A and B are shown apart, each in its own frame.
Chain A
Amino acid sequence: MAQTYHTTVGSRSYRFANLAELMAKATPPRSGDRLAGVMAESAEERVVAQMVLAELPLTTFLNEALIPYEEDEITRLIIDDHDADAFAPIRHLTVGDFRNWLLSDHATSDVLTELKAGITPEMAAAVSKLMRNQDLILVAKKCRVTTAFRNTIGLPGRLSTRLQPNHPTDDVTGIAASILDGLLYGSGDAVIGINPATDNVAQSVKLMRLMDEVIQKYQIPTQSCVLTHVTNTLEAIEQGAPVDLVFQSIGGTEATNRSFGFDLSTLAEAEAAAQSLNRGTVGRNVMYFETGQGSSLSADAHHGLDQQSCEARAYAVARKFKPLLVNTVVGFIGPEYLFDGKEITRAGLEDHFCGKLLGVPMGCDVCYTNHAEADQNDMDNLLTLLGVAGCNFIMGIPGSDDIMLNYQTTSFHDALYARRVLGLKAAPEFERWLEEMQIFQDVSTHRLNDQLPAAFANSLRHLPKEPRHGT
């Protein structure tokens, strides 16, 4: 079954021991693959691997699993859920032809929507390795993945944001201040989502109630989420907490997910529990997943695969549970996996492309840590590229500075920059709310109100003005 791959370029002959090695060596360079010892040994070997990969029939990926079927429930999910009818139109193609086909005029948004159940993560990963950044952008832009809960996310011409009001001690006034700041900058249509400072059930329930009260009082057409472990959210649901979305970090191998403390049956149980609450008004997508290249290697659960192939497999996990949002937290993991701005940018575009091709509602945490070789300029570039590519959502945080997770992501200002320069809008229900609340003077031209809107001015009267610190 497993075959080796040989080719000769000039006087040099190359051999790739198996499909996993071929995939890894065809991958554009990044530090995580170097760390794993699976990267191409020379620039020439990389392109040779891409040439060999381009000749491979797509059906190879149905016959040869990168991780054995018997050993890994994600492989079983990918194979068992593969839709042969949807696959039929591209069944005869090689990986290289698949790239041509995706770029062709034939591959319209409707055709790509029909196709997604026939594509496996490995096919998406393989073709992405042959694609330039502009290819990843162009094809992703054609893919449409729309989801809904209290608003509709992923419509063409829309860019949503997760309002992320994290606070290092979960102080409710501090969190409320960040929520207010975000709302008044038009942020929060994807979700208002808090990473709690400490993972415990009671704390999570408290934060769920806090956000639920705000959403109800101001009648905000959005949803909330506390990004705690899935088993905590299950307990919170049992306790009667107002859970909109269930969060979990997921990876592309069973062993990765075991290291995160869950398996597919846990996610199925959580989805059913959240569905039973019936809290959505315009849709029933109740899951929020986060992913990121390097998590499998970090958990020593990568089975010798390159990190981008592992990442694409995580999207098979995601799509099984019909999520509202899937977020690749691309620069969070650090320089040992994605070394600099160039590697982070490439990975962000790959993840967005692979996710969208597979039918996953892809957003991106355009981010970096202080030990990576990256800065705000790199984030501006990736944000702009993803905006062009039709990314469903990005993060929104005060001044780009997450004071709880200690990393930098896109700010409320950044989202407005992207919306303005690319002519993108918030989710339609949320956009109407922004106008009704007079947060914008003119929402169509992205002109914010210079004054404090009345509803919020009222609320601020409840707070004693303490001496301002800083300037």
Chain B
Amino acid sequence: MAHDPVVENPWEWLNAFTDARIGLGRAGVSLPTSKLLAFQLAHAQAQDAVHCPLDVEALSSELTQALDLSEAPLRLHSHAQDRATYLQRPDYGRRLNDETREHLQKAAASQQRYDLAIVVVDGLSALAVQQNSAPFLGTLYQMLSSDAADWQLAPLTLVEQGRVAIGDEIGALLNADAVLVMIGERPGLSSPDSLGLYMTWAPEPGLKDDRRNCISNVRPAGLQVEEAARRFFLLLKEARQLKLSGVKLKDRSEDDVLEGDSASGSTRNFLVAD
């Protein structure tokens, strides 16, 4: 022990309170070998996750069942034909390919207006979408159906090789007042499964990010689906009332603060306990 080149950190046990890589210890001022290799493994797994394709078939039947849909979700595809193109051409990922656009136009031929279109997109983590879509939508559908107001939902859509803005085109084609895009966020080392939610009022192609509201990090170890659905629903109601979204619509969900262990606004923590 006297000559152990690795100095452990006496506060290492704090890692029970966060997934952040704290208390790693050090060799001199550098990472110990075991921590170095743990990082390299996580990075290798995240890189692999980016390239794993969405199992559309499985997700489609899971959502049909879980949400008790009368028809399976509409399957759409962006203009990016494969992952390599997708990574280098975000513009392709923001619009539908011709074939599925026609498909969607036919489905929307009734000219009926909808209150909300929900668009599930693979994004940069198919895993996130595969894992979190059904639980989130199950909760949200419940909230919508038990709300005093009536919420007309457009047909659910699933998109492959898509970016956030593809929801604008889909929402517009479906005559929806608002669109919710549920998309796999880029995988982090500790979170290859993080889902992002983007809400836009009055969607139309060409909108900028300042028209969207975002709720991120929806995953079992992050923001729970119940809380995410609650926050989204409040945003949606406020958007419908004010007829806008984005930076002009601040996220003022009820208690207004987001915290893992309690819903209070307390800043109490061990560093300033006395």
Task: Give the interface of A toward B (CB within 8 A).
Answer: 31, 34-35, 165-181, 184, 197-203, 206, 209-210, 213-214, 217-218, 229, 231-232, 258-261, 298-301, 334-336, 339, 369-371, 375-376, 397-408, 411, 413, 416-417, 420, 446, 448, 450-452, 456-457, 459-460, 462-463, 465-471
Contact = CB atoms under 8 A, between A and B. Distances in A.
B88 A336 contact: yes
A175 B15 CA distance: 11
Given A165-B20, A172-B266, A375-B43, A401 B189 contact: yes
Nearest to A199: B251
A446 B90 CA distance: 44
B247 A197 contact: no
B18 A370 contact: no
10 contacts: A35-B91, A178-B18, A181-B9, A184-B11, A214-B271, A217-B271, A370-B47, A370-B49, A413-B29, A420-B28
A401 B42 contact: yes
A459 B20 contact: no
Contacts of A260: 209-210
Contacts of B266: 172
Nearest to B206: A300
Contacts of A197: 216-217, 223, 258
A299 B209 contact: yes
Given A35-B91, A168-B217, A371-B186, A398 B21 contact: yes
Contacts of B5: none
Interface in B244-274: 246-247, 250-253, 255-261, 265-274
- A172, A176, A401, A456: which has the most chain B beta carbons within 10 Å? A172
Chain A to chain B: the 3 pairs with minimum beta-carbon distance, closest first: A399-B21, A406-B188, A202-B256
Contacts of A166: 20
B259 A169 contact: yes
B265 A401 contact: no
- A198, A339, A411: which has the most chain B beta carbons within 10 Å? A198
A103 B34 CA distance: 45
Given A173-B269, A416-B29, A200 B22 contact: no
Interface string B196-229: 0000000000101110001111000111000000
Given A168-B223, A198-B215, A413-B30, A203 B256 contact: yes
B35 interface: yes
A31 B88 contact: yes
A260 B211 CA distance: 9
A336 B87 contact: yes
A402 B215 CA distance: 17
Nearest to A229: B247
Given A174-B260, A202-B257, 4 more contacts: A178-B18, A259-B210, A406-B185, A463-B14
A213 B29 contact: no
Interface residues of B, number: 81
A179 B272 CA distance: 12
B16 interface: yes
B132 interface: no
Contacts of B21: 398-401, 411
Nearest to A418: B29
B39 A450 contact: no
Interface in B8-42: 9-24, 26, 28-31, 34-35, 39-40, 42
A467 B16 contact: yes
- A180, A376, A470: which has the most chain B beta carbons within 10 Å? A180
Contact of B186 (A232, A400, A407): A407
B87 A335 contact: yes
A413 B246 contact: no
A448 B28 CA distance: 9
B65 to A, nearest CB: 29
Contacts of B209: 259-260, 299
Given A260-B209, A401-B188, A176 B10 contact: no
B190 interface: yes
A174 B265 contact: no
A406 B17 CA distance: 19
A174 B267 CA distance: 12
B210 A413 contact: no
A214 to B, nearest CB: 5
Nearest to B252: A200
A34 B208 CA distance: 22
B258 A181 contact: no
B76 interface: no
A399 B24 contact: yes
A462 B88 contact: no
B22 A398 contact: yes
B105 to A, nearest CB: 24
Given A417-B29, A462-B273, A370 B20 contact: no
Contacts of B217: 168-169, 197, 404
A316 B74 CA distance: 47
Nearest to B189: A401
B191 A202 contact: no
A406 B271 contact: no
B173 interface: no
Contacts of A334: 87, 186
Nearest to A174: B18
Contacts of A446: 29
